[in-house]
A = this chain, B = another copy of it.
Amino acid sequence: METVFEITEDAMQLAMIEDRIVPYAELDPVYLDRGTFFGDGVYEVVRSYDGRIFAIDEHMARFERSLREVDITGVDIADIRRRVEHAFDDASIANAKIYFHITRGSAARNHGTPADLKPNFFLTVTELGESTAKKAGGISVSTFPDWRWKRCDIKSLNLLANVLARRDAEKKGCNEAILVNDAGEITEGASSSVFMVRAAAKELVTRPLGPDILPSITRAVVLRIAEQARLRAVEQVIRPGEAAGADELFLAVTTQDIVPVVKFDQTTIGNGQPGQNTKNLIEAFRQYVK
C-alpha cells in the first residue's frame, strides 16, 4: 500500500537511534536492514567437530533452498560457502558454532521491495561449550503452543514464536520448549527436533517432514544412524501424552547433536536418567562425525 522509497533519495526524511536524531542520508544501511524490519531473510547454523565443519554440503543445500523459497536472488552460493569456510579457518576454533544469515537487503521500510536490492550477509563464529553434563544427565522440557507461521520448513529470521516459547520454558526452569500445534501434535522444539524411543519395539520415532517443521540436518543424521543403534526409524506424529509416557526421549540440534530429555512437563521420563538406546545413538553419532 505504500510507495517504495530509495534509501537516501528523499531528503525529507530523518531517523532516530535511541534518543539521537540522525539525518536519513547519514544512516548506516544496517539500520535499514529488511532482516530487522520484516525478518526478511534466512539463516543457517553449522558446527565443527575437532576442526572440521560437519555436513556443510547439506547445510548449504538447505540454505540455498531457503533463499529460493523466500525468493531472495542474486546470491552466489559458492561464494557464501567460501566465506563460511574462510571465517571458520580464520577463527581457529576446533569446536565452533557458525551462524550466518542473508537478508533481502537494506531499504526504506516498505513491505514492497525495490527491484535492485542487494542482499546483506552476516556471520559469527562462536566457540561451543561442552555439553557433556547435559548429555550425561539429560534436560527438562516443557510444552508450549506452536504459534509459528505455516512455512517452518524455511529457516527464516521470523523466530519470535520460538523465542516466546523458549522464554516460557526458561521461566519454568526448563531447557527447551516443545511446540504443540492446534491438532494436539508435537511439531518440534523451539530450536530442536524431537525423538522418542519405543524400547520394546526397538523403534525410533520422529515427526515426518512437512511445512510445519524444519528439515533438520541433525534429524536426518540421527535417522541415518538409527540402524547402528539397532533401532528402526519410524516417521510418525507424536502427541504430548505419548512423549510423556515414552521409554526414552531426546532432542536433536546442530550445536549439541543428541540431548536426552529426562523430564517432560511434570513427568519424569523412564527412570529419570538417559536411556540405553539414547546413549547408543549418542555414541553412534560420535563415531559418525569422526
Contacts and interface: CB of A to CB of B under 8 A. Distances in A.
Contacts of A35: 36
Interface stretch (A107-115, A198-206, A269-277, A280-288): A107-115
A1 B189 contact: yes
A122 B163 CA distance: 21
Contact of A17 (B121, B159, B164, B176): B121
A184 to B, nearest CB: 15
Interface string A179-207: 00000000001111000000000000000
- By size class, the interface of chain A is 35 or more
Contacts of A149: 147-149, 158, 160-161
Contact of A24 (B71, B124, B162): B124
B126 A190 contact: no
A253 B111 CA distance: 13
Given A124-B13, A126-B13, A160 B166 contact: no
Interface string A156-177: 1111111110110010000110
B1 A71 contact: no
Given A112-B166, A124-B109, A159 B12 contact: no
How many protomers of this protein does the assembly include? 2
A46 interface: no
Contacts of A97: 2
A229 interface: no
B12 A157 contact: no
B167 A161 contact: no
